[in-house]
């Protein structure tokens, strides 16, 4: 983890030495904490999103059906990660990464505080602001981490692993806080005692998400300059010729337009009669895979390999991202949220995935170190990830059937998140690093955008799949878990079977 090249910048000294960020460029600690708090705001709000929407108006919610809430969840998450494409481009060409983080963070905070206003119009405006801000913030903060390390710096992967820890520490803490504020009888009692409206507890949860983003932004503003994280790519508008500047703006405009058009089509696919459009999410990448895969030239064949990995990731996230919808509803309505007779807010189940990332990531890192060259290739890791995902939903089949008799033990969901998180650690970091290795130098940003696109489409499908959730028909619910487990298992088998061909397309990248 800690080896450094001789040319590495001097190590950070001081309080951060104690928490393992030592030995990395000083800027990493700032980015670590800024992203920790941004993810705190993101996942703190996400833990409440669907539950708030389905809570009756008389109880302070939006009074929407579970099906409607699930579609909003999918469209929101899709928008967040699709906007990362023009957002990243705007940072590359116009704003520079630092400014994109600052503006993005401010817009995100404004979004969460808008959600804190109890008004349905404020709700949708708030979601739009968070999506817009995250599109600027998320790719840029990752780019800034990358910019801390030179191309030969061996600390790079370790730096990104630490960064991923920060993400998950934020993701772990957030639902504990926002769930307590929004759902707990203690908080409602306190509000009433203060003469405040206890039905507004949800909005206190959203406000806490906004406060988290403000903390992240404050850390970035106060320390980033001092600790000297790299500037990241700077504005190309500073380029000498007016022609270059004009071209930059045109590209940015077209990319934004294209993204908005794609978002429009995806939202349209929810409309009765337009559902078949959803097949395109998988069929278009499949067509790309075949088209490029048969090319005699190396670079197009690599794009073919990327398209296959993209399909795997879309299917993976389509099941995995149901954590915030299907599984959130299952936890809320069909699971006993208590340990040892002590009741906790159902949103707390959302902390299990980040908790398992924190616990398991070092285990996987050690495993890959130990296996060295004997570790499985990335297509095999994708297959294993999908197999674990299939197992997680297979586990939910008896769990769902048991709900016919009443709420079930929280341990079922602990098992689900354990299996899913193991899968996440096989697919998410592996996919990211493989995609960047496959990408030609000049197109790394584009390829990262494609990786976000996979996450966006998967999240969208998660919303679509979550919209069939039912708490009153145990058999239908069990069947839904069963067929999804079947699809994931088939996808896993396909990856195992195709491994030699995918490796051939990857041309030397493991």
Residues that bind ligand PHE (CB under 6 A): 39, 167, 428, 455
Three-state SS at 357 = helix
- Select 66 or 352, whichever has its Cβ closest to ligand PHE: 352
Q: Closest separation between CB of residue 187 and ligand PHE, Å? A: 26
What minimum distance in Å lies between the beta carbon of 39 and ligand PHE? Answer: 6
Tell me if residue 106 falls in helix, strand or coil: helix
DSSP 216-261: HHHHHHHHHHHHT----SPPGGGSS-HHHHHHHHHHHHHHHHHHHH
Residue 66 or 450 having the CB closest to ligand PHE = 450
Q: 342-343 and 338-339: which strand pairing?
A: antiparallel
How far is 469 from 88, CA to CA, in rounded Å? 34
| Structure-block tokens of residue 502 | 């995918």
CA distance 78 to 305: 23
Q: Please say which residue, 206 or 455, places its beta carbon nearer to ligand PHE.
A: 455
Structural contact between residues 436 and 444, judged by C-beta atoms closer than 8 angstroms: yes
Partners of 335 in the β-ladder: 408
Distance CA 264, CA 266 (A): 5
Least distance from ligand PHE to the Cβ atom of residue 455, Å: 4
Q: Do residues 270 and 461 lie in contact, with contact meaning Cβ atoms separated by under 8 Å? A: no
Instruction: For 345-365, give one letter per residue: b (16+ CB within 10 A) or e.
Output: bbbbbbbbbbbbbeebbeebb
**Nearest residue (CB) to ligand PHE, 217 versus 450:** 450
Residue 74 tokens, joined: 């999918």
* Closest approach of ligand PHE to the CB of residue 25, in Å: 21
Long-range contacts of 149-158 (CB under 8 A, 24+ apart): 149/25, 150/5, 150/7, 152/5, 152/7, 153/4, 153/5, 153/8, 154/3, 154/4, 154/5, 155/2, 155/3, 155/4, 155/5, 155/8, 155/23, 155/24, 157/433, 158/1, 158/2, 158/24
- Of 455 and 481, which CB lies nearer to ligand PHE in the complex structure? 455
Q: How far is the CB of 164 from ligand PHE (least distance, A)?
A: 7
Q: Determine the angle formed by the axes of helices 378-402 and 298-320, rounding to 10 degrees.
A: 20
Residue 428 CB, nearest approach to ligand PHE (Å): 5
Compare residues 60 and 139 and give the one whose CB is closer to ligand PHE: 139
CB of 59 to ligand PHE, least distance (A): 30
- Tell me the residue number closest to ligand PHE, measured at CB: 455
Q: For the chain, how many residues are written?
A: 510
- Rounded to the nearest whole angstrom, what is the least distance from the CB of residue 323 to ligand PHE in the complex? 10
Q: Kindly tell me which of 143 and 167 has the beta carbon lying closer to ligand PHE.
A: 167
Q: Under a CB-based contact definition with an 8 Å cutoff, are residues 393 and 197 in contact?
A: no
Q: How far is the CB of 458 from ligand PHE (least distance, A)?
A: 9
Determine phi and psi for 88, rounding to 5 degrees. -65, -40
Among residues 60 and 454, whose Cβ is nearest to ligand PHE? 454
Query: Quick one: 167 or 388, whose CB is closer to ligand PHE?
Result: 167
Assign 339 to helix, strand or coil.
strand
Write down the least CB distance from residue 372 to ligand PHE, Å. Answer: 26
Residue with token string 């976000």: 452
The distance of closest approach from Cβ of residue 167 to ligand PHE in the complex, given in angstroms and rounded to an integer, is 5
Please report how the helices 474-506 and 298-320 are oriented relative to each other, as an axis angle in degrees rounded to 10. Answer: 160
d(CA 90, CA 248): 9
Closer CB to ligand PHE, 259 or 428, in the complex: 428
Token pair, residue 77, equals 């998450």
In whole angstroms, the minimum distance from the beta carbon of 459 to ligand PHE comes to: 9
Q: Between 54 and 217, whose beta carbon lies closer to ligand PHE? A: 217
Nearest residue (CB) to ligand PHE, 28 versus 394 = 28
Evaluate whether 460 touches 321 at the Cβ level (below 8 Å): no
b (16+ CB within 10 A) / e for 128-162:
bbbbbbbbbbbbbbbbbbbbbbeeebebbebbbeb
CA 380 to chain centre: 22
Structure tokens at 406: 């009443």
CB of 152 to ligand PHE, least distance (A): 26
Q: Which is nearer to ligand PHE, 55 or 392 (CB)?
A: 392
């Amino acid at each position: 983890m800690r080896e450094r090249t001789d040319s590495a910048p001097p190590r950070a000294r001081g309080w951060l030495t104690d928490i393992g960020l030592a030995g990395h460029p000083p800027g990493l600690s700032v980015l670590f904490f800024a992203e920790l708090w941004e993810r705190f705001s993101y996942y703190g709000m996400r833990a409440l999103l669907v539950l708030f929407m389905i809570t009756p108006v008389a109880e302070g919610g939006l009074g929407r059906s579970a099906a409607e809430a699930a579609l909003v969840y999918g469209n929101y998450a899709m928008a967040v990660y699709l906007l990362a494409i023009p957002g990243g481009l705007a940072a590359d060409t116009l704003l520079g990464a630092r400014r994109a983080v600052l503006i993005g963070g401010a817009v995100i905070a404004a979004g969460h505080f808008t959600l804190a206003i109890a008004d349905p119009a404020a709700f949708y405006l708030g979601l739009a602001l968070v999506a817009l801000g995250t599109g600027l913030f998320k790719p840029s903060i990752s780019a800034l981490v990358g910019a801390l390390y030179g191309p030969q710096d061996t600390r790079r992967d370790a730096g990104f692993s630490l960064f991923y820890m920060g993400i998950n520490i934020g993701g772990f803490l957030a639902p504990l806080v926002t769930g307590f504020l929004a759902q707990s009888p203690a908080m409602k009692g306190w509000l009433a005692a203060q003469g405040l409206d206890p039905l507004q507890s949800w909005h206190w949860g959203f406000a806490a998400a906004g406060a988290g983003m403000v903390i992240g932004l404050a850390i970035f503003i106060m320390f980033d300059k001092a600790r000297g994280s790299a500037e990241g790519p700077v504005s190309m508008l500073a380029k000498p010729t007016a022609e270059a500047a004009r071209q930059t703006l045109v590209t940015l405009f077209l990319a934004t337009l294209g993204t908005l058009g794609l978002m429009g089509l995806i939202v349209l696919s929810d409309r009765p009669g337009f559902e078949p459009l959803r097949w395109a999410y998988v069929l278009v990448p499949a067509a790309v895979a075949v088209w490029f895969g048969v090319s005699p030239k190396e670079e197009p064949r690599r794009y073919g390999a990327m398209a296959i990995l993209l399909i795997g990731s879309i299917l993976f996230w389509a099941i995995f991202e149901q954590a915030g919808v299907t599984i959130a509803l299952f936890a809320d309505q069909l699971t006993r949220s208590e340990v040892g007779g002590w009741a906790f807010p159902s949103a707390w189940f959302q902390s299990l995935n980040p908790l398992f990332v924190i616990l398991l990531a070092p285990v996987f890192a050690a495993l890959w170190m130990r296996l060295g060259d004997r570790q499985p290739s990335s297509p095999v890791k994708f297959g294993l990830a999908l197999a674990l995902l299939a197992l997680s939903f297979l586990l939910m089949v008896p769990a769902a059937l048991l709900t016919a008799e009443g709420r079930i033990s929280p341990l079922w969901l602990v098992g689900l998140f354990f299996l899913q998180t193991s899968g996440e650690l096989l697919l998410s970091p592996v996919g990211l690093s493989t995609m960047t290795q496959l990408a030609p130098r000049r197109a790394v940003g584009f390829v990262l955008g494609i990786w976000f696109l996979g996450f966006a489409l998967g999240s969208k499908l998660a919303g679509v799949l979550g919209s069939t959730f039912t708490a009153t028909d145990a058999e239908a619910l069990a069947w839904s878990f069963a067929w999804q487990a079947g699809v994931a298992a088939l996808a896993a088998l396909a990856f195992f079977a195709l491994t030699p061909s995918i490796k051939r397309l990857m041309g030397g990248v493991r």
